[in-house]
Structure 1
Amino acid sequence: MMTESRGQGSNLLLGGAVGEVAPESTTRSPPRLPSDPGSPAASSPRPSMEEMSESDSGSARGTKRKRVTEPRDGDSAGSGSDSSGSPFRRPKAPLMPICTEEDGTVLYGFTDDQDVMDKYHDDMQKYIKKRDRHKRMLTLAPSSVTERRTVKETESVLKCAESVLSLSAYLDGKMINQCTGIVVEIDAFKNSAIILTSTWLFCTKKPLDDWTKKEYATEAKVNVHMLDDSTLECRLMFFSEHYEIAFFEISGDISLKALSLERNVELGQDVFLLARDTNLNLIYKRDKVQLVDPCEHQQNHYQFLNGPIPQCGTGGGVLDAGGKIVGMLFYKLPLVAFIPSSLILKCSTMWQHFRQLARPQLGLKLRTLAFLDIPRIELMSRKFSISSGLIVGEISAKCDAEKLGIRAGDIIFSCQKERVSSIVQLEHVLLGVAEEHLEKSNDLSSKVEVEIGVFHVRKRIQRFITLRVELSDHLEVFHSDDEDAKAEGNTGEEGPAAAACEAKP
């Protein structure tokens, strides 16, 4: 389905020298453990002896000392006060010598002066609070980086990130969803940009089963959250229910760069994922394209990655080493899915030419033969002389494919006389059929003919069958509630062969 709509308004560090500390029994004022660094220092439990003396005992017995400067107004020297301009230093522990061992080593313990110890506890609480604040700073927060990457890779990711934005949709003043979008086109003359994202952004009803009808709020107000924290309203240009892609346009004084869509993506290829979280922070992950088929509740055209990503990462980009988009992300379980850029480009071209986006609906859930284990592929090659194609997993009740004898387990090896070894290849051929039809007529009410080559595993014969199927701009809905049709499909009997010619493999 495609639509054109306009929005309604816009708005949206611990360490020290090594030393020895007397056992806790030698101190008269045993330290207390801190529980909540954010609570007032006067009522907070005190730090443990280990934390307070871990480094300070060594500094007390060492010969080198750090220079102590005069405290600023309102600061305690070395206390780690709340002042943003004060130095960040651990408070010095109030130690005193308690005994000397035979070898001359002096052992230290905490002073028995309660006032001095209380002040030390208070200073330690202030230090802990300031340390925690430091850990939350962008420059001082602990890094979670574990992967190895080159300087060139880092530069490439950062450059691409400039084109990855966040979008949010609102209906009656309430947010529907927030997800990621990718700038894919810039029109300098119009001072506008095209953003690719997912229909999940304005989907108000989305069942787990991708083959089930969804509901969309095409009238929703959609905002784009720019990286300078400004917000722009955008206009929905068109969207596809079946492929769940949408294009929005923003206009105004914008400074953005577009990312190119790369048509080819290989199985096992190294890619990186870029998206935005709800706070506009960049989501980045390295990954590989997996040799995995969709689950039965997922559409045929998805390819997969290990992930994971949050839901707001839906609409993000899958990019190759050169910084080109090879797919758009979808939050899916158990693996993260993406739709390849080749299909996105095909859909975009069809919309530009015909202002429609149509696709033949075969009513088949498919699997990739090449994703089976290698011994089984080798066995099929020996037994059936077939080593590539698409396995029929399930058939929509009473569809033309079922009526003409296609059964679960059969293998589709061609479509429109083109060999097909992947589902994405098949989708390209099907979109080509729709394109040819739209060249002749914009009428979507008539059916189109699709010739497929099928190998029937049970009878070990192959046929070329011509299906007459609907051409639709809606989601392909899978019908599986007709028990009689399902029972008939389980018999394994071949249907009529009037529309097919048979040949042994």
Structure 2
Amino acid sequence: MAAETRSLELRSKTTRGDDHVEEDEEGREPKKMKTTLATEQDGDGDGDEELEISSPLREPYVPDGVKDRRANQHIFAACKLAKAKFSEKRDRVNKLLPTCQYFERPLVSVPDAGRKAVLPAARSLIRLSSSVGRQPLTRSAGLWIDWDEGSGTGIVLTSAHLIRAKKPLPKDYWMLKDRHLYHPGAQVTVHLHDDTTAEGRLLYHQEHYDVAFFKVAVDRRVQLTSFADTVNMGQKALRLGREENLNLRITHGKVKLDEAELGEGHHHNMYFYPNEKYEDEETEERQRMWRGKGVYIPRCDDDGEPVIDFDGKVVGMINCSESGSFVPSSILNNCMYLWRNFGCIPRPHLGLQCEALKFLDPIHAEYIWRKLNIDDGLVVKEVSIGSHAEKVGIRVGDIIECIDGERISTTIELENKLLGICMGTFDRGNDINAKVDVFVRVFHTANHVWRTKQLTVNLSDRREVVEGGQRVLFYAMASMFDFPVSTWHCFGLSLLSYH
């Protein structure tokens, strides 16, 4: 009977399509079969080398003739043990073979055009992580934008949030909006496609647009990112990211601009809204895996992730993973041009925060047209304390029509115009410390008159935070005199204004 059991353990059937190793009955090294490359690939120049081919992996089974479990308990027990060893080895080997990896969800629930766009774009997408003093800081996605064959180095564009402190600095009476500390000396690890890592060396970061450039040593050519010239509101798009195991993550959605002006200091952003059906399917899948494994598998959304169009070109880079806000490609292209040519990304600080009239609520926009006969331009939302704009009489509620003679309809157009002013200033031989004159055509709503104002402003590559004077003064008074929050509405203000 022992011989019969031993014989049964060695019986197996070939698993279709599996070309794996087989462990013999004593647990020794798997047997190998040798073949010559010349017999399979003629003309590749490697005909004299021998290739070791693993023997097929075969799954143990109980013969059909053995049906009585009670009478053959030892046989079924031996088969169970053999199957456990088989499963363990199959899983171990499958981890080494990309072609045998199993994915529970389809690649992406989009038309074939989306699949064709994703695969080339993903080749330039990598993952980065940072730490300060051996303490993990954060992670982000990154995009290859340059590669030098001679030095074997590449340049990665990512979000400056990779080196930003998690919590904002404490606020005071005069600085109500969030400000963060950045760590230029943070240790940055670049996770490459072949599961190796490299050190990322910070070359430059800019806080206003949340961009950073890192230099990375790579011993092979990398796929460079292709950027679109423009992105349109309502455009269908795909958001790409990488999980912790570097597997690709794809989200189908649409570009919107209806809340882009509401961001604190980031009124130049656009927003990526996921397709609700896709999101519901993913949520159900994660909940099912949670119930099955008892472990919740969270999304691994990161800043720096690209938003691409259906041609595979990047139309924006995520700078707030929670809200889905992203810097549009037109601004990214100008940022990269300035950094490559001048080593920095400055912009004139006008001391104004604006909102596009065309993206206001239709009822509000129609009311403005009916009262003022204006249907295009930027509505001034805040004027910074002590700014030249405040001194020349620009006030909240005024409407800006032109900058240096060019009509401006959106805050993205405004930012690109400001970056263009910097390019012209540098081309004329000036540096980042220069002052520039900016001519603003503005409608004063209180007086119902058009005027052209000359603003003399500084260039800076620091983040511009516009702090409105009335709000700051009231907040300081309310804090000093301990005004109850319940009375703030009497002054046209709310607690939400200060958080």
TM-score (norm. length: structure 1): 0.67
Q: CA deviation at 1:298?
A: 4.3
Matched-pair contact (CA < 8 Å) for 1:197–1:247: yes
Residue equivalent to 1:197: 158
Cα pair 2:128 2:189 within 8 Å, conserved: yes
Contact 1:480–1:486 (8 Å) recurs in 2: no
Deviation readout 1:152-186 (Å, 9 max, x if unpaired): 43233112111100112233233322111011223
Counterpart for residue 221 of structure 1: 187
1:180 and 1:312 in contact (8 A); partners too: no
Contact 2:129–2:140, Cα closer than 8 Å, also in 1: yes
Looking at structure 1, the residues matched to 257 and 455 of structure 2 have their Cα atoms a distance apart, in angstroms, of 29
Write the letter of the residue equivalent to 2:104. P
For residue 295 of structure 1, what is the aligned residue in structure 2? 262
- Per-residue CA shift, 1:64-117, capped at 9, x if unaligned? xxxxxx953499xxxxxxx99665999x9xx99xxxxxxxxxxxxxx9x9999x
Secondary structure at 2:402's aligned position in 1? strand
Query: Which of 189, 196, 214 is equivalent to 1:230?
Result: 196
**Residues 480, 343 of structure 1: CA spacing in aligned structure 2 closer, same or farther, 3 A cutoff?**
same
- Stretches of structure 1 lacking an aligned partner (at least 5 in a row): 1-69, 76-82, 97-110, 493-505
1:245 aligns with 2:211: yes
- Percent of aligned positions that are identical: 31
What SS does structure 2 have at the residue aligned with 1:258? coil
1:184–1:195: 8 Å Cα contact kept in structure 2? yes
Q: 1:95-150 deviations in whole A, cap 9, x for unaligned?
A: 99xxxxxxxxxxxxxx9x9999xx99x98xx99xx89x99x997555325672311
How many angstroms apart in 1 are the aligned matches of 2:60 and 2:443?
74
Q: Which runs of 5+ in 2 are unaligned?
A: 1-6, 13-21, 24-56, 280-297, 476-489, 493-499
Work out whether 1:170 is the aligned partner of 2:140: no
- Counterpart-to-counterpart distance in 2, 1:450 and 1:241: 23
Match of 2:399 in 1: 411
Cα 1:387–1:483 shift into 2, 3 Å: closer
Q: State the partner residue of 1:459.
A: 447
1:353 partnered with 2:341: yes
What pairs up with 1:132-151 in 2 under 5 angstroms? 140-143=102-105, 147-150=109-112
Residues 178 and 278 of structure 1 are in contact (CA less than 8 Å); yes or no, is this contact kept in structure 2? no
Q: Report deviation, 1:197.
A: 0.4
| Closer/same/farther in 2, CA of residues 195 and 380 from structure 1, 3 Å limit | same
- Secondary structure of the residue aligned to 2:230 is coil
* CA contact 2:159–2:303 (8 Å) conserved in 1: yes
Q: What is the distance in 2 between the residues matched to 1:387 and 1:140?
A: 55
Question: SS in structure 2 opposite 1:248?
Answer: strand
Q: Distance in 1 between matches of 2:256 and 2:60?
A: 48
Q: Could you tell me how far apart the structure 2 residues matched to 1:240 and 1:281 are?
A: 29
Residues 114 and 451 of structure 1, relative CA distance in 2, 3 Å threshold: farther
Which of residues 350, 362, 365 in structure 2 aligns to 1:377? 365
Instruction: Give the whole-Å Cα distance in 1 for the aligned partners of 2:181 and 2:430.
Output: 25
CA 211–413 in structure 1, closer or farther in 2 if over 3 Å, else same: farther
Match of 1:187 in 2: 148
CA distance in 2, matches of 1:193, 1:446: 32
The corresponding residue for 2:311 is 322
Name 2:54's counterpart in structure 1. none
Deviation at 1:415, TM superposition (A): 1.0
- The structure-2 alpha-carbon separation of the partners of 1:376 and 1:481, relative to structure 1 and needing over 3 Å to count, comes to closer
Structure with greater helix percent: 2
Partner secondary structure for residue 389 of structure 2: helix
The alpha carbon displacement at 1:314 in A equals 1.0
Question: 1:230-274 CA deviation, whole Å, 9 max, x = no partner?
Answer: 112232222212111011122341231112122211111111111
- TM-score, scaled relative to structure 2: 0.68
Are 1:472 and 2:434 counterparts? no
Q: Is the 8 A contact 1:278 1:312 kept in 2?
A: no
Q: How does 1:81-92 map to 2 (within 5 A)?
A: 87=59
Residue of structure 2 aligned with 1:433, choices 415, 421, 424: 421
Structure 2 equivalent of residue 496 of structure 1: none
Could you give the per-residue CA deviations for residues 343-386 of structure 1, whole angstroms, max 9, x where no partner exists?
12212222233223211112222222111233443443343232
The structure 1 residue matched to 2:9, chosen from 72, 89, 106, is 72
Secondary structure at the counterpart of residue 332 of structure 2: helix
CA contact (8 A) 2:108 2:115 kept: no
The alignment partner of 2:256 has SS state of coil
Q: Tell whether the 8 Å contact from 2:145 to 2:224 is kept in structure 1 after alignment.
A: yes
Q: CA deviation at 1:411?
A: 1.8
Please give the per-residue CA displacement for 1:193-247, whole angstroms capped at 9, x wherever unaligned. Answer: 2211011111125539995432222122322111111112232222212111011
1:356, 1:430 → 2: CA distance?
A: 14
Deviation at 1:434?
A: 2.2
Output the CA distance in 1 between the equivalents of 2:404 and 2:198: 45
How many residues get paired?
401
- Cα distance in 2 between the residues matched to 1:248 and 1:296: 26
One-letter code aligned to 1:237: L
> Contact 1:456 / 1:462 at 8 angstroms: preserved in 2?
yes
1:153 aligns with 2:114: yes
CA offsets 1:397-430 (integer angstroms, 9 cap, x no match): 2322223332222221211111001111101111
Q: Which residue in the other structure is 1:342 paired with?
A: 330
